[in-house]
Amino acid sequence: MRVKARGKNSILMSRKLKILVRVAKKATKKLFDVRSYDDFYKGQSLAGTISHFAKYHFKNGSRATVSKLKKELVRVSGNGLVKHHFPNGIVSGVDQHAINRWQSDKSVSIVIPSYNDYDLLKTCVESIHRTCVDIDYEIIIVDDYCMEDNRNKLKTLSDEKTRVIFRDTNGGFAKAVNTGLREVPKVNDAVILNSDIEAHDGWLKALQYGAYEFGENIGIVGPKLLYPDGRIQSAGSYRNTEAPEWFDHYYRFQDSNYGPANVPQYTLGITGACQYIKREFMDTVGILDEGFEFAFEDMDYCLRGWEKGYRTLYFPASSLTHHESATRSKNKSIGEKEKQAVVYFWEKWGDWFDKRNVKDASGKTRIIFVLQTLGYSGGIKIVVEHANRLAQEGFAPEIWSLSEGSVWDINVPTRSFKNYRKLTESLEKEEAIKVATWWETAFPVWMASLKKGIAVNFIQENETWFYPNDPDAQRTVISCYRKEFKNMTTSSYNLDEIRQLGLKAELIPCGYDETVYFQKENNKKESQVLLSVGRTFFQKNFDFTLKSWEALGDSRPMLWLFGSEPDMKSLNDKIIYSFKPTDGEVNDLYNKATVFIQTSRHEGFCLPLLEAMASGTPVIATDAHGNRDFCIDGKTALMVEHDDVKGLTLTINKLFKDKKLQDRLVKNSLKEVEKYTWPVITKRLVAFYDNIEKQDHITEKVVAKYGK
């Protein structure tokens, strides 16, 4: 009987282990899919996760481990609002189900400074009691020496959860808050809350979840603050790009459900209207700087935290209504106090913001371009050209990426990293101009530039175009376009889109190498060859080209393609495919082809069209947005409507039959492309980076403008 029992147990164990392996495979696949989701928001690597589950299995057995793995599988699969976990650590939303399940064991003291604002304060206190039923909290109201009648009213708010402290003199926001923070029990976290706040359900639990479960090295967490009409008042704070001595709020005046505002993000600062502060942060960083008479103390507090290694997190799962300015009007001397605060802040932090060293020991300006990959892409090609040509101009550029090896000729130092965490940890130590080159590199570059260097975002196109019909991904992309970046882009269309987001950018078009792409002397073109880029990527809309070409029937020309997808040759027996040709070989193709065509739905620039023009080949194109600057219908190109197969067929036929039209387009194109040669573009690049390196140190201007 013993042997039989043991055999049965072995079978059951075997089944459990099979289940464990099956679930583990699914979970591991998910974890690999999101790769370094934890890089910035949880702090545990994939290897650490696997090790954790192995130890868990030996300690708790198969059944418990299977249950835990299933829960982890649900977590990374994006239940609730979390649809995407990107390799850079950004997630597209917050899992509300996880917050609801989470149980907090942290006690919180909510400190509310008050100044003759009983009616607002009463509403605030009542909303806290109503919305914090499952959390151990207390309210500490600090009366900043109000009028006697108001002080008497404040006493009526005292109860078992609420106490009122009366100051002997009026000291302003920082002193009033510090009076309350000094009363917070040594084991409690704290919340600084304005008296004109009205709390929403779940606000405090969500802030605690953000502080302890969502991020890593968190010191301060802030919510989404809304105006009474429901529009956004604050979604984290940044330095005002129009008036750099002040700070402003992300997504101010946008609708409450504005997509990018629903993406949790680390931010430079969080407004003091509501800050959740961990006990560890207070023990290490201290309390507010009372040198600020009014304003800037909240940003100063966050910056002091960043300097000590604590991050500030904007966490939109928490939201509150802020009746902003309702209390400010009662302080008649606010103007002078704000002047004092702005001068004090910039005397304290001016060099930190505006005197960033970006030069190496020899005096050369360092520029580190951050790429996700070094693969076959026009956008990557442009970045490599920037680096190579800036090196020739006396800069000290480098290229950092997550991939080893490159299909491009790179003439500057390179470094490769296993993941974004490793890259960011190294990059944050560097004194350099740090350039994001793809939206997923923007967040790591921003993080790595907070304390050292200057952050640049090279936006070759609004990258939401890569995620059609996916608003979750689109909002995540936009959320990474931070105000702190110095932006550069490649076309007028891109510039307009960037401006619509409330950002500034410098327009520097892509360049082409006139020593590689040129019209050969005595060149003899083929009379019946249509040339195109051979890519099946949806934005290229090659299917439109193919259908229109096939509609020409037996009289259609040969279709030559080039790129990295040779299987496209099988689409038709009249297709010839050149696999990964060199630049010189591409120029040969341009020179031999009768016509070049590209029917993209969208391009940030569309360099192949420009190269074809420079090689003396007439072009047909769709309005792909980024090509508008140099593709002028009837002058430098023939433009066709998207997906109009009949129209494109007629246009191809017309251009092949009309030699005079070909010659006219080529003549105009050769003149147009002179503005895009690399010597011309490089001068603009040099000016751009020289201007960034100079920086605008505003402290003296602030003192002159606001000082006594």
pLDDT tens per residue across span 490-524: 999 999 999 999 999 999 999 999 999 999 998 89
**Which residue has 């307009």 as its token pair?**
496
pLDDT band at 65 (very low <50, low <70, confident <90, very high): low
What pLDDT shows up at residue 12?
42
pLDDT band at 94 (very low <50, low <70, confident <90, very high): confident
Distance between CA 683 and CA 673 in Å, rounded? 16
Q: What does the pLDDT average to over 552-558?
A: 95
Q: Minimal CA–CA distance to 213: which of 51, 60, 38, 31? A: 38
What pLDDT shows up at residue 404?
86
Q: What is the pLDDT of residues 326-358, one digit of tens each?
A: 444 444 444 888 999 999 999 999 999 999 999
Residue 558, CA distances (Å) to 529, 530, 656 in order: 5, 6, 12
Q: Which residue has the higher pLDDT, 56 or 197?
A: 197
Q: What is the pLDDT of residues 5-36, one digit of tens each?
A: 344 444 444 444 544 454 454 444 444 443 33
What pLDDT shows up at residue 535?
95
pLDDT over threshold 60, residue 548: yes
Amino acid at 36: S
Query: Helix 46-77 crosses helix 2-34 at what angle (to 10 degrees)?
Result: 80
**Which residue has 């309210």 as its token pair?**
139
Q: Which residues pair with 398 in a beta bridge?
A: 368
What pLDDT shows up at residue 16?
46
Cβ pair 216, 313 in contact under 8 A? no
What pLDDT shows up at residue 34?
38
Q: What is the pLDDT of residues 263-289, one digit of tens each?
A: 999 999 999 999 999 999 999 999 999
pLDDT over threshold 80, residue 68: no
pLDDT band at 376 (very low <50, low <70, confident <90, very high): confident
Sheet holding 595-598, edge to edge: 575-579, 558-563, 529-533, 595-598, 619-622, 638-640
Q: Which residue has the higher pLDDT, 689 or 216?
A: 689
Question: Domains in the chain and their CATH numbers?
Answer: 2-85 (no CATH), 103-353 (3.90.550.60), 366-507 (3.40.50.11930), 529-675 (3.40.50.2000)
Q: What is the pLDDT of residues 647-672, one digit of tens each?
A: 999 999 999 999 999 999 999 999 99
What pLDDT shows up at residue 215?
82
Q: What does the pLDDT average to over 689-705?
A: 93
585: which 2 tokens? 């070989």
pLDDT over threshold 60, residue 72: no
Ranges of beta strands (E only) in 216-310 are: 218-226, 232-234, 237-239, 247-249, 265-266, 274-277
CA–chain centroid gap for 643, Å, is 33
pLDDT band at 42 (very low <50, low <70, confident <90, very high): very low
Q: What is the pLDDT of residues 130-187, one digit of tens each?
A: 999 889 999 999 998 777 878 888 889 999 999 999 998 888 999 999 999 999 999 9
What pLDDT shows up at residue 82?
65
Residue % of the chain over a pLDDT of 70: 87
What pLDDT shows up at residue 19?
46
| Pairing mode, strands 189-193 and 108-114 | parallel
What pLDDT shows up at residue 152?
86
Q: Which residue has the higher pLDDT, 354 or 95?
A: 354
What pLDDT shows up at residue 693?
94
Distance between CA 690 and CA 5 in Å, rounded? 79
Q: What does the pLDDT average to over 349-374?
A: 97
The DSSP result for 83-103, as a single string, is --B-TTS-BSS--HHHHHH--
pLDDT band at 83 (very low <50, low <70, confident <90, very high): confident
pLDDT over threshold 70, residue 3: no
Whole-angstrom Cα Rg for the chain: 30
Cβ pair 622, 628 in contact under 8 A? no
Q: Which residue has the higher pLDDT, 45 or 616?
A: 616
Distance between CA 197 and CA 178 in Å, rounded? 19
Q: Minimal CA–CA distance to 204: which of 331, 99, 62, 52? A: 99
Q: What is the mean pLDDT of the chain?
A: 89
| Pairing mode, strands 558-563 and 575-579 | parallel
Distance between CA 527 and CA 244 in Å, rounded? 59
Amino acid at 70: K
pLDDT over threshold 80, residue 84: yes
Q: Minimal CA–CA distance to 412: which of 422, 394, 399, 430? A: 399
Burial of 594 (0-12, 13-18, 19+ CB in 10 A): buried
308: which 2 tokens? 């000590």
What pLDDT shows up at residue 467?
92
What pLDDT shows up at residue 21?
52
